[in-house]
A and B are shown apart, each in its own frame.
Chain A
Amino acid sequence: MSNKNKWLDYLLNIDRKVVYVIIFLSVALPFFLNPVVDIQPTKWVSAVYDEMEEAARTNKPIIIGFDYDPSTLAELDPMAKALLRHAFSRNIKVLGLNFIPNGTSLAATTMDDVAKEFGKEYGKDYVFFPYLPQYDLVLINFGDNFRKSYTQEFRGQPLENIPMLSNLQNYDDFHMVIDLSGTKLPTAYIMYGVTRYHFKFVTGCTAVSATEYFPYLQSGQMIGLITGMKGAAEYEGLVKANLNLPTGDGMRGMASQTWGHLVIIIFIVIGNILYYVRRRMSMEIK
């Protein structure tokens, strides 16, 4: 009786560091096994893919808001790369926006890297606008004419010298707007943009804030949602299946994602079983 008790107590008050090692291994080991993992795309990710194909057909440019910083890089950068690869492979012109100061260099580097893969030229096929504060005012003015808020692009040239922007004025000239963020920015795009100008809007969000966007999907204010690293993996799967482009870090991390989730589920189940066994035993002693 007593050593079972002692064993339970040891397990229930196990040192945190043991748990840390277990979760670290469950994430690190699968990288060595690199099992092939195929992902079924969900409804809202396929909707984004189809909308991008529609943009290719009407050959209108798209806007991508890179509103993430290093803290949510792991989930949103694979998404950004998958979307950019899809856009560039279909010759869709991309305008990059940014309202998170800590993410400016991240967005510029990501766009340049993917553009280099497809031989796309800055200023002709893609352009990146600088960071601006007061995003609510910038989003409102973007519906009238973005030249009211932006006088130069990120590298310092005035907007007149950018061939891609010559025919563009506001949201109507773009097929859709995609915002990648873990912050409140997507809600701001809806409040200050979609409500006033009714353009097609898609969000790529961190999994933490995914549930709060579903009312906007149901009401039609948003037409697609990519959720976290799994969403990125789904999109990479779609792009690979249809356009045979290489998959990125989203798919690469899915094996570790699987092990990581299973470990957490097992922890919750075992933790509760031990807790109730311990409580019933202490009830018997009393």
Chain B
Amino acid sequence: MKNLLRLLVILIVVSFAFNSYSVDTVVVTGKDSPNDKGEAIDIKWNLDTSLKTSATKVFVFRKVQGEAEYKQVKELDITAEYFNDKNELKNNTPYMYYLEFRSATGEVVYKTNEYGPFVAFPQWVNTDKIPTFIFSLVAMIIILIFIRVAKSGRKLYVRPLPGVQAIEDAVGRATEMGKPMIYCPGISVISDIATLASISILSRVSEIVAEFGSRLVVPNYDPIVYSVTDEVVKGAYVKVGRPDAYKADDVYFLTQRQFAYASGVSGLMAREKPAANFFLGWFMAESLILAEAGSMTGAIQIAGTDSISQIPFFIVACDYTLIGEELYAAATLMGEDTRLLGGLKGQDYVKLIAMILLIVLFVLKLFGVSGIDSILVGGN
């Protein structure tokens, strides 16, 4: 259906503005360039080979129909066979064109007849972008639906993740051995989704820590994130009913400089000899230093980040790594942040639609349906 509609529109436009009549060795055709704010005319011409050798430049001349004087609007290389005339061109006014082919020395080799009138007019909607418009609406509606559903408190299914089990085992092992744990919430700001996910996991981890009375050290990079992690860990102790056991100086603001943070945490690991390290959140190049310092102390290391360039280092240096969106999924399983849950489920179903679209189009292409190879992104 969509293709028929699009063909119809193009036919009307072409028939209305497409009028070249005189016979000439070089035929110049022109039409309003589609899907734009107007003020542009597409000029096309075909070159016979003799012209290509003798001339080196093409000069385009234009005038409003009825005026006397032609004006040169463009100078092009001989290889060009198309020109989109956009400079100071008004809508709904007829223009006449002719071309001059000049040789290297500048003398005119060939001058075409006058062609036109060609008229430019604006379009309100770019028809090539209709598929994008439909998909954008669908994606936005799905995301909004799930944000609302999650906010209403309904339980939404998220598949079990081996990463969540790995985190809980690591906390258990450190508690058994009576050694401390170090939890780095990443080096990004509070509004970053990775930081929010990390804090949601921290709330669950600190609940287990509060219950079993083991020790959790949380060095922070961002002062605002520090104030939130402090709140979360203290809240866990209160929830478990042991508000006095909370040691305020285990959760602190270290520094806001990338390498100083990395060496600060490495020093902390060397001193405290933790049994488990958690690197959950947004990291940059300093992830390498943290993971290496941690592996030297023999601790179990669980990492999780959506910073794609750091994932390879975490995978080879840590025992388990949550890759990209797995960090968000683990956060929804471990914490109660409905915003994360709504976001995750909404994005999941948009991803499902993308997968279905890919499969359907591929199957249609196998059956040889025509027009498939430009259905999503328009004719260009």
Q: Which A residues are closer than 8 A to B by beta carbons?
A: 13, 57-60, 167, 169-170, 172, 198, 208-209, 212
Write out, one digit per residue, whether chain B residues 62-105 have a CB within 8 A of any chain A CB (1) or not (0). Answer: 00000000000011010110001011000000000000000000
A58-B77, A58-B79 known; A212 vs B87 contact (CB < 8 Å): no
3 interchain residue pairs of minimum CB distance: A58-B77, A58-B79, A198-B380
- B29-86 interface (Cβ within 8 A of A): 74-75, 77, 79-80, 84, 86
Measured in the bound complex, the distance between the Cα atoms of B186 and A87 in whole Å is 44
Q: A13-B296, A169-B87 are in contact. Are A208 and B309 (CB under 8 A)?
A: yes
What chain A residues lie within 8 Å of B353 (beta carbons)? none
A80 CB, min distance to chain B CBs, angstroms: 22
Give CA–CA (A13, B74) in the complex, Å.
Answer: 71
The residue on A at minimum CB distance from B380 is A198
* B145 interfacial by beta-carbon distance below 8 Å: no
Tell me the minimal C-beta distance from B120 to chain A in angstroms: 15
A209's partner among B80, B86, B309 (CB-CB below 8 A) is: B309
Q: Is B308 an interface residue (CB 8 A)?
A: yes
Q: List 15 A-B contacts (CB under 8 A).
A: A13-B296, A57-B79, A58-B77, A58-B79, A59-B77, A167-B74, A167-B75, A169-B86, A169-B87, A170-B86, A172-B84, A198-B380, A208-B309, A209-B309, A212-B308
A60 touching B77 in the complex, CB below 8 Å, given contacts A172-B84, A208-B309, A212-B308: yes
In the complex, which residue of chain A has the Cβ closest to the Cβ of B83? A172
Nearest opposing residue in chain A for B36, CB measure = A144
Main secondary structure of the interface of B (DSSP, over half): mixed
In this complex, the interface size class of chain B, counting residues with CB under 8 Å from chain A, is: 10 to 19
Tell me the nearest residue of chain A to B285, going by C-beta.
Answer: A208
Instruction: Give Cα A169–Cα B86 distance, bound, in whole angstroms.
Output: 9
Q: Mark B residues whose CB is within 8 Å of A.
A: 74-75, 77, 79-80, 84, 86-87, 296, 308-309, 380
C-alpha gap A170/B79 in the complex (Å): 19
Chain B residues lying within 8 Å of A58, measured Cβ to Cβ, are 77, 79-80
What separation, in Å, do the CA atoms of A87 and B248 have in the docked complex?
62
What's the Cα separation between A198 and B36 when bound, in Å? 14
Q: What's the nearest-Cβ distance from chain A to residue B39, in Å? A: 10
- Shortest CB-to-CB span from B85 to chain A, Å, is 11
- Cα(A198)–Cα(B309), bound, Å: 28
In whole Å, how far is A65's beta carbon from the nearest beta carbon of chain B? 21
Write out the residue numbers on chain B whose beta carbons fall within 8 Å of the beta carbon of A169. Answer: 86-87
How far does the alpha carbon of A57 sit from the alpha carbon of B80 in the complex, in Å?
A: 11
Cβ of B84: which chain A residues have Cβ within 8 Å of it? 172
Q: Which residues on A sit within 8 Å (CB–CB) of B380?
A: 198
Which residue of B is nearest A71, CB measured? B285
- Whole-angstrom distance between the Cβ of B226 and the nearest chain A Cβ: 27
Inter-chain contacts of B79 with A (CB < 8 A): 57-58
Residue of B nearest to A209 (CB): B309
A198 CA to B86 CA, complexed, in Å: 16
Provide the residues of chain A in CB contact with B87, threshold 8 Å.
169
A172 to B84, CA, bound (A): 8
A residues less than 8 Å from B77 (CB atoms): 58-60
Chain A residue nearest to B77 (CB atoms) is: A58
The CA of A209 and the CA of B77, in the complex, are separated in Å by: 37
Contacts of A212 in B (CB 8 A): 308
* B309 closest partner in A (C-beta): A208
What separation, in Å, do the CA atoms of A172 and B296 have in the docked complex? 56
Minimum C-beta distance from A64 to chain B (A): 21
Across the two chains, which residue of chain B brings its CB closest to A170?
B86
A59 to B80, CA, bound (A): 11
CB contacts (< 8 Å) of A198 on chain B: these are 380
Residues of chain B within 8 A (CB-CB) of A208 are: 309
What chain A residues lie within 8 Å of B309 (beta carbons)? 208-209
Q: With the chains together, A58 CA to B75 CA distance in Å?
A: 12
Q: Kindly state the separation between the CA atoms of A17 and B309 in the bound complex, as whole angstroms.
A: 26
When C-beta atoms are compared, the residue in chain A nearest to B316 turns out to be: A268
Q: How far is the CA of A138 from the CA of B22 in the complex (A)?
A: 43
A18 CB to closest chain B CB (Å) equals: 14
- Which chain B residues lie closer than 8 Å to A170 at the CB level? 86
CB of A268, distance to nearest CB on chain B (Å): 9
